[in-house]
A = this chain, B = another copy of it.
Amino acid sequence: MRERDPALPTTRQPRASLRRSSHSIDVIVLTPRGRQLSVLCLRATDPRARERWHLPSDRSVADEGMEATARRLVHDATGVDPTWLEQVGAFADAAEPTLTPQSGHPAESELSVAYAAVIPKAEDRSSGEQAWFVVHEPPVLPPRQRVMLEAALAAIRQRVDYAPIAFRLLPELFTLSELQRMYELLLGRRLHKASFRRALAAAQLVTPTDEWRSEGRGRPAQYYRFTPRASGAAARSVRFDLL
């Protein structure tokens, strides 16, 4: 790709950034808020359609690659870099054999490549131009982006057992209860406490520290640290079928 493209029947493209492609990069930015997982949505710029929302999206794949575009989209919207990012897939509108009146995507791109991104905590920039929505109660989105949101959630739930997504959402030191709550947030269901800790111990994913947390009422909790198994596959693949 890029630079030489003599076979293309289109006109020569400007060589630097801001070239518009026929496809877009769309990002599902997720963050924990309270007991819920929330997704970042942007308000339509058109003042006549203030109740139309959409996901961060960009068609200028500026010689930077898809993942870099997704990362930039997250940074521009939230001010921070995602701590985890992964492609979900490519989406077009369902090709109805007879009629497809209008695009299911705000930028009218033929094709959208969706990325799921997570950031630890969102500084509340609810400027009116953007807002966080609980993932199960999103605003009305363009059809294609609604599909992408569901696919992103499914992808995260599938990968959370094998990728350190939960740890990327927590600070360096965390308690096992905090870790479990993060897993529950990502998976969207409750886990069994004893089994959760047994699985963690078996996988040797965390090591205790000397730090303790004492806040609020109950017994202080020990802080743990994430200690991924160096290269060699996880001692056990950490199956959280729990609860």
Contacts and interface: CB of A to CB of B under 8 A. Distances in A.
Contacts of A63: 95
Contact of A107 (B7, B10, B100, B103): B7
Nearest to A92: B66
Contacts of A95: 63-65, 68
Interface string A52-67: 0000000001011110
A162 B105 CA distance: 30
A90 B92 contact: no
A9 B90 CA distance: 23
A52 to B, nearest CB: 15
Sort chain A's interface into a size bin.
35 or more
Nearest to A86: B89
B110 A111 contact: no
B1 A110 contact: yes
A17 interface: no
A51 interface: no
Interface in A7-44: 7-10, 20-23
Interface of A: 1-5, 7-10, 20-23, 61, 63-66, 68, 87, 89-90, 92-95, 100, 102-105, 107-111, 113
9 contacts: A1-B103, A1-B105, A1-B108, A1-B109, A1-B111, A8-B20, A23-B111, A63-B95, A111-B113
